[in-house]
Amino acid sequence: MAKFDIIAATGCPTGIAHTFMAKEALEKAAAERGLTIKVETHGQVGVENELTKSEITGAKAVVVAADKDVQAERFAGKPMVSVGVSKALSVEAAGKLIDRALAAKGDNTVAAAADVEDEAEEKESIGHVIYKHLMNGVSHMLVFVVAGGVLTAVSFLWGITSFDSTAADYNTFAAMLKIIGGIAMNLMVPVLSAYIAESIGKRPALVPGFVAGMIAIQGLPVNAETGMIDAGGAGVGFGFLGGIVGGFLAGYVILLLEKVFAGLPKNLDGLKAIFLYPLFSTAIVGLVMLGISGPMAAVNTAMMDFLKGLSASGAVVLGLAIGCMCAFDMGGPVNKAAYVTGTAMLTEALAAGVGTDTYNFGTNFMAAVSAACIVPPLITTFAVVVGKKYFSQEDHDAGIVNLILGCTHITEGAIPFMTKNIWPVMPIMMLGSSIASILTIMFNVHDPAPHGGFLVLPVVENGPLWVLSILIGAVIGGILFVAFKKYDFEKNQKAAPVAKPVEASKAAAVEAPKAEAADFVKVENVFVAEDFASRDEALSFVSNQAVKAGIASDADAVMNAFLAREAEGTTGMMEGFAIPHAKSDAITEAAVIVVKDESGVTGWDTMDGAPVNVAIALLIPGAQAGTTHLKILSKVAEALMDEDFRATVKGSTDAAEIAETINARLV
């Protein structure tokens, strides 16, 4: 059985994007450190790449990046770090988690890292624990909402009242779809409640969790004539808020019962699981839920009235609130809060029936939420097409893929663009989403399906206006995004100094013999006495030198490639060295340019915090990204482990000697 240095588990509430983005980031970060890793993912299709007991036992450390239950108790005793999935979406962030996990202590708690600042971040906060339990319920609930909502919406294709046998447009198949969809939607709250409970109290908590959820949708039944509690009476449900309360209640009641029954003999464990836990937990949770049904119903009604009050304040106020929430964290907790609220409103709308005020408000609200979620990925698509020269090839490719993600209501595709420049990209995304939401409300669009993006257009009322609203938001956001990238691009170019190597470099280049044609490092591409104010100034210098040397055709493209790589994770190493690398189609031949700054380049993150004195810059044509690039990078990284190599390159002012020393290690 293979052993891994690091094992990890990732999971997000929807299991669509964050889960696998974190997996990829962790794998890349481990590879950069020469570590082996296995990442278990908890997505909507279930657990993939599952960790075995022997793999857990043999691992040096564990990284858990999840906002749902991933059974972290399996890793008890191992050095471990546990954070939300959003903390592992970049290679740099994932690398820090791996470093912290390796530095942690092995015990039964979430490990603390070596320094005090990281220790404060390392331990799971109460807020994250609650959020993780909540999102475990949401992740299981969403599939019921999507399936039920879309089936119900499809039934409307035969007519708004096609499910009603007394209506003129009645259709048997449509009626069956409506029944199936309604059943799935009615399971939303019980499933939410049950899997919040399961996240806390594991399998025994499922029973009281489901019961709590059912009570939440039915309420306390009261006889209309006597005013007394009556099993045959009718109650007022208190919706998904009640499901959340019931889920947490059920989970913690199970934990309490485990302590109460801890003293029973071991041979009664079967009795506890089958009889004692379900009986007592269901009774306790059921009584409490029925007891609080009145206050909870009032809270639920007040929340719905508040949202309707926002609507009464105008489309701008409500649309702005929806748009900002949906685009704030692109699928994170704020986005999920808006989406879950939308699905709850939609559930009430479908239950109320077509033509009612509740139906009109709920489906309009859902349309605004969907529009806001679709816009951010489309903003990136517009930007990389219109402003292609301002983006790296990697960003351009990601933006094109986002066209598909956006059209299918998957917001997470915009995350990598936002994480590189939170300001002003986040406000741009929020503005674009808000515009789409406001217009959707103003155009009186109604969406009876909770997910699917443009796939559900046939059932959307005023669908063309909905698409128009989304396109307007995406185009305005895209224009602003391109304007920012253009400004940033031109600022970097202005910061580039005129390439004038100092006299010492010129002398070295003249006196030294010419390097062989096969050498990656040519003497004229070694600059030994430079003075850079920042990392970006050094990279800009290298980019311009590459064009002057005939290595590249476009300095801007090379600079963008360097910056794109730095955004993934710093190339600063230790003891004053850095290995920046650019992969671009604008580079015509593989080469290495070396720059030295005796005073040290500050602002370049390095493993030991020291400034960079020597940057060995790798320039690779796009077509050689997986071949020549990896070969040179691995050779340089290996050379930097040699103390004599470091001393020679760092101490020499002879360009020819430096070129010869590096070339010798690239053979």
Q: What domains can be seen in the chain, in order of their start residue? A: 6-124 (3.40.50.2300), 129-295 (no CATH), 313-491 (no CATH), 503-665 (3.40.930.10)
Instruction: Judge whether residue 281 has pLDDT over 50.
Output: yes
Measured distance CA(191)–CA(78) in Å, rounded: 32
Q: What's the average model confidence in pLDDT over 169-173?
A: 93
Residue 557's SS3 state is helix
Q: Is the peptide bond before 424 cis (omega within 30 degrees of 0)?
A: yes
Q: Compute CA 185 distance to the chain's CA centroid, rounded to the nearest angstrom.
A: 27
pLDDT in tens, 433-445: 999 999 999 999 9
Residues 316-337: b if buried by 16+ CB within 10 A, e if exposed: eebbbbbbbbbbbbbbbbebbb
| pTM for this predicted structure | 0.57
Question: Which of these, 291, 207, 206, 192, lies nearest to 241 by C-alpha position?
Answer: 192
Measured distance CA(414)–CA(399) in Å, rounded: 8
Instruction: Judge whether residue 112 has pLDDT over 80.
Output: no
Q: What is the mean pLDDT of the chain?
A: 85
Report, as residue numbers or ranges, the catalytic residues. 12
Q: Is 299 exposed, middle or buried (0-12, 13-18, 19+ CB in 10 A)?
A: middle
At residue 106, the pLDDT reads: 60
Q: What's the average model confidence in pLDDT over 12-36?
A: 81
Instruction: Judge whether residue 346 has pLDDT over 70.
Output: yes
* Dihedral over Cα of 410, 416, 417, 419: its sign: positive
Give the pair of three-digit tokens for residue 163.
């499910």
Q: Compute CA 520 distance to the chain's CA centroid, rounded to the nearest angstrom.
A: 39
Most confident of 360-374, 557-571, 630-644: 360-374
Measured distance CA(632)–CA(663) in Å, rounded: 10
Measured at the CA of 559, the angle between CA 558 and CA 563, to 5 degrees, comes to 120
Question: 577 vs 28, 145, 597, 611, 641, CA distance in Å?
Answer: 21, 53, 11, 8, 11
Note whether 376 and 432 are within 8 A (CB): yes
Measured distance CA(323)–CA(327) in Å, rounded: 6
At residue 11, the pLDDT reads: 86
Of 295-309, 368-382, 606-620, 622-636, the one with minimum mean pLDDT is 622-636
Residue 449's SS3 state is coil
Q: Which residues contact 254 (CB under 8 A, 6 or more apart)?
A: 197, 200, 201, 202, 204, 205, 208, 277, 281
Q: What's the average model confidence in pLDDT over 23-33?
A: 89
Question: Which of these, 403, 405, 318, 414, lies nearest to 369 by C-alpha position?
Answer: 318
Question: Which of these, 520, 565, 515, lies nearest to 539 by C-alpha position?
Answer: 565
At residue 597, the pLDDT reads: 92
At residue 165, the pLDDT reads: 92
Instruction: Judge whether residue 500 has pLDDT over 70.
Output: no
Instruction: Judge whether residue 513 has pLDDT over 60.
Output: no
* Dihedral over Cα of 174, 345, 243, 16: its sign: positive
Higher pLDDT, 574 or 83: 83
